[in-house]
Amino acid sequence: MKFGGTSMAGTERIRRVARIVKRQQDAGHEVAVVVSAMAGETDRLVNFCREANPLYDPAEYDVVVASGEQVTSGLLAIALQALGANARSWLGWQLPIRTVEAHAKARIEEIDAEALIAEMQKGVIAVIPGFQGMSEDGRVTTLGRGGSDTSAVAVAAAVKADRCDIYTDVDGVYTTDPRIVAKARKLTNVTYEEMLELASVGAKVLQTRSVGLAMKEGVRVQVLSSFIDDDAPAADTIPGTMIVSDEELEGMDMERQLITGIAHDKNEAKITLTRVPDKPGAVANIFGPLAEAAINVDMIIQNVGRDKGETDVTFTVPAADLARSLDLLEAAKETIGFNRIIPDTNVAKISVVGVGMKSHAGVASTMFKALADRGVNIQAISTSEIKVSVLIEEDYTELAVRVLHTAYGLDAVEA
Ligand code: ADP
Ligand code: ASP
Ligand code: MG
């Protein structure tokens, strides 16, 4: 069982979480619980680091930001004990959850679950802070923002759990963010592949890496709400959304829509380089330095060459990497040979995702037409087998998501 930040925000909510956990144990399950820091706490801790020194040491950043989860895991153990349960917290370094050393973006290598399983078999509820691990040299590491989902899936895989229930502040995965589109519909099932794609293009309900890990390890994941009454249907009745394999889905959901969901991402920035020489090697000169700095370039357009053998190149990078990208490109100006750099942070990426796309034509054109009808201009396009993304002006994000939700027939019918 994993509980996110909103579910853990304050002792009142932690007591409710304790009741949900206790109920699962009373139903005969052995349970391990992974918790997030209280909502807003990690942001607060990150800010302290920035204030102390904008060029902080990532290893010490990890020491600071991992503390949020230490607090909530202890508090949940206390709340469980108050209900008469036998509960114990295990911090990342105690378990241990071994990670690679990359501070602030560590990857889990292995979890030593033997002691944990032994305790669980004795009836102890294990409470584990998400987001944190231990590096080879014994220092605290963290997994990157939203990483508690990944901790939960990793623990589930390590103890060979029947299921990994991810409790959050919505009651499942919806066709789009239910906070933006009131008519969003809850999905009963989503495939790993679709969830992976949805998460990677901005549906923050699950961290992308957690979905990839669940897929690889075959962990059964359910997304469900922690904001429930004590007499709400138990998690075992699958009240939330199950992430399933393609094979499982076949035969289950005959009436699946062509498009599963729509996601948006406001954390991208657009960069245009003007008058780049239109010759072999030019693009390699642009993206080489960015790749070396581990900056992820997403959408790329190279315009048709103009006269004089020059062309404009436009691409997107994570907004957080914009300043660094501009620096690197300026430094490589001679080699690349461009005229001007034009950065733009007022952009958003809107994506439609669905496995049905593999076998159906016309998905992209529906998207382009629906946006054109509302006067929304498309600045860049990228596609994969099961996804089409467009870059638009940020101010139109909510409008675009709503319009597409309707265009693909995803709106819930009013009761
Ligand atoms: P937690 O703190 O529990 O990890 P998050 O805030 O990370 O929760 O994720 C839950 C949020 O994800 C929801 O409140 C919702 O606004 C957002 N969200 C975005 N896209 C979707 C979607 N397709 N379905 C459900 N929730 C979504
Ligand atoms: N508390 C961490 C964060 O906000 C990890 C998590 O909640 O998943 O990123
Ligand atoms: Mg989250």
Contact 146, 207 (CB under 8 A): yes
Q: Which residues of the chain have pLDDT under 70?
A: 251, 253-256, 306, 414-415
Across 184-298, the runs of DSSP E, i.e. the strands, are 189-191, 221-225, 241-244, 261-265, 268-277
pLDDT at 246: 85
Distance 177 CA to ligand 1 centre (A): 7
Burial of 132 (0-12, 13-18, 19+ CB in 10 A): buried
User: Which atom of ligand 1 is found nearest the CA of 4?
Assistant: 3
Question: Would you state the torsion angle of the CA atoms of residues 82, 84, 85, 86, taken in this order, to the nearest 10 degrees?
Answer: 90
133 CB-side CA count, 13 A: 29
The answer, yes or no, to whether any atom of ligand 1 lies below 6 A from the CB of 170, is yes
What is each CA distance from 358 to 71, 194, 203, 362, 364, in whole angstroms? 46, 12, 21, 11, 12
Q: Which of 42, 62, 73, 76 to mutate to test the pocket of ligand 2 (most atoms within 8 A of CB)?
A: 42
pLDDT on residue 254? 55
For atom 9 of ligand 2, the residue with the nearest CA is 145
For the entire predicted model, the pTM comes to 0.93
- Residue 260 included in any domain: no
Q: Which atom of ligand 2 is nearest to the CA of 43?
A: 4
70 occurs within a structural domain: yes
Tell me the CATH number at 97.
Answer: 3.40.1160.10
Residue 136 belongs to domain spanning? 2-252
**Is there a domain that residue 329 lies in?**
no
Q: Is residue 45 part of a domain?
A: yes
Of ligand 1's atoms, which has the minimum distance to the CA of residue 261? 23
pLDDT in tens, 190-225: 999 999 999 999 999 999 999 999 999 999 999 999
> Could you report the per-residue pLDDT of 62-75, keeping only the tens digit for each?
999 999 999 999 99
Provide the pLDDT for residue 45.
98
Report whether residue 240 contacts ligand 1, using a CB cutoff of 6 Å.
no
In sign, the C-alpha dihedral spanning 42, 4, 413, 351 is positive
Ligand 3: centre distance to CA 105 (Å): 15
Atom of ligand 1 nearest to the CA of 167: 3
Is 354 close to ligand 2, i.e. is its CB under 6 Å away?
A: no
In a domain, 413, yes or no: no
372 alpha carbon to ligand 2 midpoint, in Å?
Answer: 37
pLDDT at residue 102, as a whole number = 85
- The finding on whether 314 has its CB within 6 A of some atom of ligand 2 is no
Is 354 part of a structural domain of the chain? no
Is residue 89, in this structure, part of any structural domain at all?
Answer: yes
351 strand-pairing partners: 263, 389
Point out the ligand 1 atom lying closest to the alpha carbon of residue 174.
24
Which residue's CA is the closest to the ligand 2 atom numbered 6? 146
Inside any domain, residue 192: yes
164 closest CA partner among 211, 228, 106: 211
Phi-psi region of 66 (alpha: psi -120 to 50; beta: other; left: phi over 0): alpha
The domain total for the chain is: 1
